[in-house]
Structure 1
Amino acid sequence: MSRLAASACLAALLIASASPGAAQTSGPMTPNIGGFPDSPLIPPPINATYPGIIRYEVDATDLDRRIVSVRQTIPVTGRSLTLLYPKYLPGNHAATGPIHLLAGLTLTANGQRIDWRRDAVDPHAFHIDIPAGVSQIEAAFQWLTQSDNANWRVVMTPSMMNLQFEKALLYPAGYAATGITFAPSVRLPQGWQYGVAMETTSFENGLATFAPVSLYTLADSPMFAGQHYRRIDIDPTGEDVHLNIVADEAANLAPTAEQLGHYEAMVTQADRLFGSRHFDQYEFLLGLTNQMGGIGLEHHRSSENTHAPDYFTSWAKSAGSRALLPHEYAHSWNGKFMRPADELTANYNVPTENSLLWVYEGQTEYWGDVLAARSGLHSKDHALVILADRAAFYENQAGRQWRNLQDTNNHNLLGYRVPGQWPSWMRGTGDYYDEAALVWLDADTLIRERSNGRRSLDDFARTFFSPEGTDGSWTPRGYTFADVVAALNAVEPYDWATFLRSRLDAAGPEAEAPLDGIARGGYRLAYVEEPNAIEKAMHSNWGSDFRYSLGFALAGPTQRIVGIQWGGPLFEAGVGAGWELVAVGDRVATPEVLREAVTAAKSGEAPIRLILKNGQRIRTVDLNYTGGLRYPRLERVEGTPDRIGDILTARRR
């Protein structure tokens, strides 16, 4: 267990001997350098229950101005209080709480205004002196949601909203999230309906009132609401799993019986994989929209997801995105019920550590793809396309020369999913998803090989994410690296610690992508000059992708050059970010024209001439590349066991 997890695991492992009264006691004062009143230290969370219930009222009806108004009535004892705005948001693995969007904070007690002071070091904390005789205070403020996705994603549109409570609340410092009780209500536009995992006690005239819940449950129970809404039972064994759909247009609320059958099969296959459920109900929240910002975010009893408006009505076109819901569903077991101990923090202002994201996200990515195939959301051919793309990306990734996979687990703490100009060199967020998924394929195929097919990573999933006696339990549990190794050894004895560390810590010129699972699975990575129909359907932008030939891709109508491969032909020609492709030879540039030029250059008679533009600059670059077009594909190695095929096959029990 990490140093943080040892002191912050669900508050029970915090300062257990501290008394409840310590939560409201001011600590040592900071030096008064700026002439302002000194700020007390923010009290750390302890294992105690906050006295009283916080009434929490949300008004989400101001759609035109996209403003969410909040009023909280907070019981108080003592003469001081520190309120916190959530900073480390679950599932973000970083300090992403948008404090910049909180405005208008006004505190009152008995009708009189009370001053507050923002903490001098942490802007997410507000210190308050409580007047004598005051037993409760009211806090009113606004969450100023955004009109575009430039800085924060759009969460309110004229026809739907994604209400994330942790971005629109304050809570008392000094307590674990499980020890603070909220009584929530939400006022919605007239005629709207909603999906949420909390218990509704009443819903009248647009006002939804919910049973009191802990702050932990409130922050873990987002709402999707909208004018066009449909709730569908997709649980073949009961009525515990639902698909809640909100759409820009009512016509898009139209999944077919066959499509819903795939989602029912996903629920069945998850039951067979994990062997138990750690929830009373599960609500998929799915927005079909091109107006609200995209999202895929896990919660214990629900998930936030978006797809294109025509996701169901243009089913063939959506093939590349169908693993999203299986991924988020698998998170209910891996990441929510069982999660890395260093992410099991007491509240949302205790820093998170990310040492095991390669399990939390990487193995979930693996199971999301597997469940998509086992349920029929993806065919075997679809799944092989995903694997081929993943393998090719990491086979050609130069960044492994200096940065190992383990280090990318901390990428969010460097700046939440900050894009870079050189993704193949910088490495980042995607690696602890996708490269880690290759590591888990390696582990799965190795277990199958060593046990002659009698055991697999499925056995690990059943025992590790559903320990004996936990069926129906919601209480999260933390795991460590040693726990992962021990559970793998219980399935198949092997030196799993070395197996994992050698793949997590490898860096340098000799470090290779973890592709052994593909070979052991019965396939080889190859490159072809023309994608087949399924590959084109999975990647609608295939024609603009030259990463594995010329070392870049094209984007947008201006043919902007993106994704330059470190060490690729264009990189070696001295070209960086910011350029547009104007012409190829004497022809106006289009992806088709460039593809023709790459094919023609195979003869070696002339270089590929590119005319580039960057602002007022024009540049001509000759690329002496003769390798032709290259698109990845997995080819079957005849005479070897098709272990990947076995992994993707639906389980019968």
Structure 2
Amino acid sequence: MSSHTASVHFKVRVRDLHAHQWDVELVLQQPQELQRLTAWLDALRGFFNPTSVCLIAVGHETQTHTIDIAQPEACPHWRVATALHAVKTGANGFGLYQAANYDELADSPVEMADFWAGEFVARGVSHRVVVTGAAPSFDGERLLADMQKIVETEIRFWHSAGKPPHDRYVFLINAVADGYGGLEHSHSTALMCKRDDLPRTDQLALSDGYISLLGLISHEYFHTWNVKRLRPASFTHYDYTQENYTSLLWFFEGFTSYYDDLLLCRAELISPAVYLKLLGKTINGVLQTPGRQVHSVAQASLEAWTKLYRPDANSPNLSISYYAKGALVGLCLDLTLRKTGHHLDQVMRHLWQHCKAGPMNEEDLLNALKALTGRSWHREIKAWVHGTAELPLRELLHAQGVDIIEENSPLAQQLGLRVQENHAVQIQTVLNGSAAEIAGFAPGDEWLGVAITGNRRAPASAWRIKRIDQLPSLLGKHKNFTALISRDGRLLQLPLRMPTQSAKQWRLGIAQAHKVGLWLSGKQP
């Protein structure tokens, strides 16, 4: 992401009351600086989350809020896209908008640009799609058609033949040179993707990048139910003056991550084989992270503000993603339920109805599982969510007709390294207990070359490396060698030994098509 900012004139008299509170005496209409993560303004585009530019009028939070969005004189072709209710707007959407209260205003991002726009209707509800920054080859009609399949599949997941809980929805997609992510809102979502990941008119096949984008769209739209309405009890009333904590992100983000690609398969946008490839990637990511053995997903959820959003070089050794492992907890629950003739979809719908599309806690999930199966699930939740023992993935996948093929991991993973390779090998993370840790590697090192241990022909025994996958050709049959490292301007020689047993990763295949088909289609076992 770019760190550039765009400035416009702004005057304000502010008296500090608290770290997150100010007494504002006079505010002119324009903000001084807009940051890209929360707000952005330049000659190409304007975007803001109201939490970034609209201060709370203390004592008036529950009253109707209006916001007047003025069109910049230098940008006559810009239009506005937002889920806010229009009160009085011009042809391009600039003008007066209204929110029922500050919460609704805060939950309604605004996009301003000369964007591409399209629309489709699902279950009687308009879904608007805007894409800023698309190249001329962008295939908007294909994106619309694929997004409609996702939306209709997810509405059917939650409501069978009913309507969704929202009366309108807006997808705000910002296509950039390099970026990925999304943020859910009750009636919209703000997404960022690589420009190259958008579908092209000259490309019929699904690219990996486009599949990733569709998965992101599926993920954020699923949040319309699972986090924006069905939400942690601690989020019943938002406190904008501080971080809001919950130990349930493994459910709200993790289970959403379990369903995002699965629902692409149910929408027939990807094949079962492609889905299993994506699932295998998630499984390998968790199994190759030592932090899973010391950090539970419940802890990871509660510490999101201090760990997930503030990662460092040692994070993989000390923490686990509640997105990835939470998704695997959802997988394990689903496949375990299927042994009893039930499935996780039923649990999600039970929670939606029982909690009245509102606040919930972990006990509600346990009650839903017991109501469905007649037995307690405390043991599984304690082990899988609050513990750090390995999940029973192999057993459950085999029982569901999935074949697990073990293959050698990439060489960097076998050595215990996470690296960045761009004309040089930069060490980002050294994994606990690995050969690289034993040798003395450290984050920030640059791996310059290798020398074969015990070879007296000095000129021929030392080699420069730019990629770790060069090692087999340079070392031949030698297992012991010296790594030449640059650290803080000094050169080091670290004795390194190749692992005698190669670390493995999983590749998933279909052993019993009928069983796999029942699972992926969401049909009763």
Regarding TM over 0.5, the answer is: yes
Matched, 1:554 2:419: yes
Matched, 1:648 2:524: no
Cα deviation code 1:181-234 (max 9, x no counterpart): 21112123321113211122333386332134321111111012212x122223
1:339 is aligned to 2:231: yes
Query: Equivalent of 2:146, from 254, 259, 262?
Result: 262
Shift of 1:391: 1.7
Relative to the length of structure 2, the TM-score reads 0.85
Q: Which amino acid in 2 is paired with 1:502?
A: A
Residue 216 of structure 2 is matched in structure 1 by 324
Q: Is contact 1:345–1:351 with CA below 8 Å preserved after alignment?
A: no
Q: 1:595 aligns with which of 430, 446, 469?
A: 469
- 1:143-292 aligned at under 5 Å gives the runs 143-145=31-33, 152=37, 155-174=40-59, 177=61, 179-188=62-71, 189-204=75-90, 207-227=94-114, 229-247=115-133, 249=135, 251=136, 253-257=138-142, 259-275=143-159, 276-290=163-177
Structure-2 change in CA distance of 1:630 and 1:331 (3 Å): same
1:104 to partner: Cα distance: 4.1
In structure 2, how many angstroms separate the alpha carbons of the residues matched to 1:350 and 1:596? Answer: 49
Number of equivalences: 496
SS at match of 1:577: coil
Change in 2 beyond 3 A, CA 1:589/1:196? same
Tell me, in whole angstroms, the C-alpha distance in 1 between the residues paired with 2:482 and 2:101: 63
- Of residues 508, 511, 522, the one that matches 2:401 is 522
Check conservation: 1:547, 1:564, Cα contact below 8 A: no
Number of the residue aligned with 1:501: 382
Q: State the alpha-carbon separation in 2 of the partners of residues 376 and 402 from structure 1.
A: 38
Distance 2:354 2:401 in 1: 32
Structure 1: unaligned runs, 5 residues or longer: 1-63, 70-102, 107-115, 129-136, 471-475, 531-544
Cross-structure match for 2:257: 365
Cα shift readout 1:548-581 (whole Å, capped 9, x = no counterpart): 3111133133321123222111112111101112
Contact 1:162 1:225 survives alignment (8 Å) = yes
Q: CA deviation at 1:630?
A: 5.6
Cα deviation, residue 238, structure 1: 3.5
CA distance in 2, matches of 1:155, 1:613: 39
Alignment of 1:21-420 (within 5 A): 66-67=6-7, 104-106=11-13, 116-119=14-17, 122-127=18-23, 138-140=26-28, 143-145=31-33, 152=37, 155-174=40-59, 177=61, 179-188=62-71, 189-204=75-90, 207-227=94-114, 229-247=115-133, 249=135, 251=136, 253-257=138-142, 259-275=143-159, 276-290=163-177, 294-311=180-197, 312-313=199-200, 315-318=206-209, 319-349=211-241, 352-414=244-306, 417-420=309-312
- Note closer, same or farther for the CA distance 1:65–1:298 as it changes in structure 2 (3 Å cut): closer
Alpha-carbon displacement from aligned partner over 1:524-554 (angstroms, at most 9, x marks no partner): 5544249xxxxxxxxxxxxxx5443111133
Correspondence for 1:421 among 300, 309, 313: 313
**How far did 1:443 drift?**
0.5
Residue 437 of structure 1 corresponds to 327
- Describe the superposition over 1:103-151 as per-residue Cα deviations: whole angstroms up to 9, x where unpaired: 7433xxxxxxxxx5312xx3211247xxxxxxxx75337544457x7xx
Contact 1:610/1:622 (<8 A) preserved: yes
Distance 1:588 1:573, change over 3 A: same
Cα 1:613–1:449 shift into 2, 3 Å: same
| Equivalent residues of 1:573, 1:623 under 8 A apart | yes
Helix, strand or coil: the match of 2:390? coil
Query: How far 1:646 sits from its partner (Å)?
Result: 3.1
Quick check: 1:579–1:613 contact (8 Å CA) kept in 2? yes
Partner-residue secondary structure (3-state), 2:339: helix
1:462 alignment partner, one of 349, 352, 356: 349
With a CA cutoff of 8 Å and minimum separation of 6, indicate the structure with the bigger relative contact order.
1
Contact between 2:247 and 2:302, CA under 8 Å: does it hold in 1? yes
Give me the CA root mean square deviation.
3.1
Deviation string, structure 1 residues 566-605 (Cα, Å, up to 9, x no partner): 21111121111011121244332132xx3242478695x4
The answer as to whether partners of 1:160 and 1:248 remain within 8 angstroms in 2 is: no
Q: Are the structure 2 counterparts of residues 636 and 608 from structure 1 closer, same or farther at C-alpha, using a change threshold of 3 Å?
A: farther
Q: 1:347-397: CA deviations, max 9, x gaps?
A: 423652212111111111111121122224433233222222222232233
Equivalent of 2:390 in 503, 512, 516 = 512
2:129 alignment partner, SS class: strand
Q: Which amino acid aligns with 2:483?
A: L
2-structure distance, mates of 1:354, 1:301: 23
TM-score of the superposed pair, with normalisation by structure 1: 0.69
Deviations 1:15-69 (A, max 9, x none): xxxxxxxxxxxxxxxxxxxxxxxxxxxxxxxxxxxxxxxxxxxxxxxxx962477
Could you tell me how far apart the structure 1 residues matched to 2:495 and 2:268 are?
Answer: 46
| Residues 503-535 of structure 1, C-alpha deviations (whole Å, 9 max, x = no match) | 12214xxx22452543443335544249xxxxx
326-335 or 491-500, larger mean C-alpha shift: 491-500
Deviates more, 1:214-223 or 1:391-400: 391-400
Change (3 A) 1:349 1:265: same
8 Å CA contact retained: 2:50, 2:105: yes
SS in 2 for 1:414: coil
Give the Å deviation of 1:642: 6.1
Task: Decide whether the 8 Å contact of 1:296 with 1:303 is kept in 2.
Answer: yes
Structure 1 pair 504/390, CA: closer, same or farther in 2 (3 Å)? same
Tell me the distance in 2 between the aligned counterparts of 1:637 and 1:384. 8
Whole-angstrom CA distance in 2 between matches of 1:563 and 1:423: 8
Moved more, 570-579 or 157-166: 157-166
Identity of aligned pairs, percent?
A: 19
Pair 1:627–1:180, CA change in 2 (3 A) = farther
